[in-house]
Amino acid sequence: MRKVEINHAGAGGLWAELVSNRGFEAGGPHTPSNIDPWSIIGDESSIHVTTDRVSSFTKNIVALRMEVLCEKCPAGGVGIYNPGFWGMNIEEGKMYNLVMYIKSLESVELTVSLTCARPSSALPNLASVSIQEIGMASWNKIEVQLLAQGTCRTSRLDITTSKRGVIWLDQVSLMPSNTYKGHGFRTELMSMLLDLKPRFLRFPGGCFVEGNRLRNAFRWKETVGPWEERPGHYGDAWDYWTDDGLGFYEFLQLVEDLGAAPIWVFNAGGVESRWGSVRAAMGHPKEFALKYITVGNEDCLKDYYQGNYLKFYSAIKEAYPDIQVISNCDGSSSSLGHPADLYDVHVYSSANDLFLKKNMFDRTSRIGPKAFVSEYAVNDPKDAGKGSLLASLAEAAFLTGLEKNSDIVQMACYAPLFANDNDRHWNPDAIVFNSWQQYGTPSYWMQTFFSESNGAVIHPITVTSSSSDSMAASAITWKDTENSFLRLKSGSEIAQRSVNPRSITEKARVNTLKSRVTVLTSSNPNNKAQTVRLDGKKFDLSGSCLSSVAELDAGQRSKDP
């Protein structure tokens, strides 16, 4: 599985932080600077807000200076608010943890509220807490909890006061208290990831790692340690700022929570080592189970890549001989010419072409490093749109080819994984969400089917078809059960096929009397509304993000396949 910061997959997505630009750093280190998406409550006669280089965090030197000018302020006070990532989802009965840093030369009287930005809301104030402090000439950390008294999908965080004076604010964070295992991940999105049963996680992804400019690259050392001390960075590949709350440590924690293997390398040492001590201080004394590292992303043809790769390879193998190193160069049709444990392959195409690529690895040499298909998808706009049954069928056919060649294809993952519906830089995606809803595209549900293939036994299969270009088939059995599954996927044409499962069932020792058949067919798989016939029953597909499955008794014959 591939987790990359694109489409606000992490910031404003899987990472549950509700405040956008929490450290006021997104406008850059020079002041005055832009504080978007923060906005002012009040007018110029009552409040003046600017940025100031006075933070106590040396890597995050910018803080917010709020000068209240009014003697008699408007009802409700003046201040600032943050809408989060296209609105905060606040739900009745849930607790939210607020952390922020404050300083002032005078006593402080603040009100922190969660308010509904929807004008018609019957309960505009969902939760509030008063903060009154005396003598705050130096920075003070404030931690409070807010219990929501109502639900609003487009909420915001308000910080207001009616007291004249100057207040500095910094590092304002709001997190729901019910994150997955308390590790900061959005629970409903984690549930969808767990259903995929991932065996590995490639992170933090492709273009996000390098950036279009070197100064905007993801620097892992600056994403570990206390979140307040992380400088954040502008991801120019996808044009948005990230506070890097979802940093290197959190990625590794995510991998552990998923029961997967991480593809990268970090702090593989005891608590006495430099980075091991950082890991321990963050709450994880035990070493992470590290197995893989990829050197670069789509860099094979760039100047100096292979020379630099060899330096990395030698250094990594000397320090961590058990780590498997992955090269960016494709070795599926010719030898690499340099040492590697695996090589990275990216496959994006039209539905028809990806369907035909099910035979891509049939003639690949069985000697040498194995393939890691770290990115694959149908991304042709007319075939895939924002997710279609046609695309998922082609991807399924491609995966049957990878299953067939699993002796040389070690891993594969669909890309991209996530997309916030408010910022879809890339289409299609597996999981689409907003602040409170989420759904899986057909490509997501296709992956849940294939997740059962992990650790399965592949059986030889012969398919007789009038059109081999529109048929893909795979036969597998699980090692830990007596079940056997035969999967058939059809492309743009419905082919006449004849499959004899007797040899499969005999070799796999399957009890056919207790078996079930799962059928998924479509006579016109595309983006548009369509009707799928399953054993005489009709299911209307009114959108491109639905899948239909019928379970039939063994031996029952489909009347209209």
Q: What is the pLDDT of residues 282-341, one digit of tens each?
A: 788 888 777 899 998 888 988 889 999 999 999 999 988 999 999 999 999 999 989 999
Instruction: Supply the pLDDT for residue 389.
Output: 94
d(CA 313, CA 270): 23
d(CA 461, CA 6): 39
pLDDT band at 503 (very low <50, low <70, confident <90, very high): low
Percentage of residues in the chain having pLDDT higher than 90: 57
Instruction: Supply the pLDDT for residue 467.
Output: 66
φ, ψ for residue 12, nearest 5 deg: 85, 10
- Nearest alpha carbon to residue 394 among 431, 357, 347, 444: 357
Q: Which residue has the tokens 């570990």?
A: 224
Give the number of residues written for the chain. 561
Instruction: Supply the pLDDT for residue 267.
Output: 34
Dihedral, CA of residue 540, residue 543, residue 547 and residue 550, to nearest 10:
0
Look over the chain and give the mean of its residue pLDDT values, rounded to a whole number: 82
Interval 114-135: pLDDT, tens: 999 887 665 689 999 999 987 7
**Which token pair is 463?**
């398919």
Q: Is 551's pLDDT higher than 60?
A: no
pLDDT band at 545 (very low <50, low <70, confident <90, very high): very low
Distances (CA, A) of 229 to 25, 32, 209: 12, 21, 20
d(CA 507, CA 486): 14
Torsional class of 243: left (φ above 0), alpha (ψ -120 to 50), beta (otherwise): alpha
Selected residue with higher pLDDT from 492 and 344: 344
**Which token pair is 3?**
């987790």
Winning range, highest mean pLDDT, from 11-20, 245-254, 460-469: 11-20
Contacts of 312 (CB under 8 A, 6+ apart): 295, 325
Interval 18-72: pLDDT, tens: 999 999 999 988 889 999 999 999 999 999 999 999 999 999 999 999 999 999 9
Q: Beta strands of 214-341 (E only): which ranges? A: 233-235, 240-242, 261-263, 292-294, 324-327
pLDDT band at 471 (very low <50, low <70, confident <90, very high): confident
Give the H or E element holding residue 319: helix 305-319
What sign results for the dihedral spanned by CA atoms 527, 531, 534, 537? positive
Instruction: Supply the pLDDT for residue 394.
Output: 94
User: How buried is 268 (Cβ within 10 angstroms: 0-12 exposed, 13-18 middle, 19+ buried)?
Assistant: middle
Is the CB of residue 420 less than 8 Å from the CB of residue 85? yes
Instruction: Supply the pLDDT for residue 135.
Output: 75
Among 83-92, 275-284, 454-463, the minimum mean pLDDT is found in 454-463
Can you list the domains of the chain with their CATH numbers? Answer: 39-176 (2.60.120.260), 180-453 (3.20.20.80), 457-553 (no CATH)
Instruction: Supply the pLDDT for residue 554.
Output: 26
Helix (H, G, I), strand (E, B) or coil at 192: helix
How far from chain centre, in Å, is Cα 447? 15
User: How buried is 311 (Cβ within 10 angstroms: 0-12 exposed, 13-18 middle, 19+ buried)?
Assistant: exposed
pLDDT band at 187 (very low <50, low <70, confident <90, very high): very high
Interval 372-428: pLDDT, tens: 999 999 999 999 999 999 999 999 999 999 988 999 999 999 988 999 999 998 889
d(CA 40, CA 429): 35
Q: Is 429's pLDDT higher than 90?
A: yes
**Which token pair is 499?**
């499959």
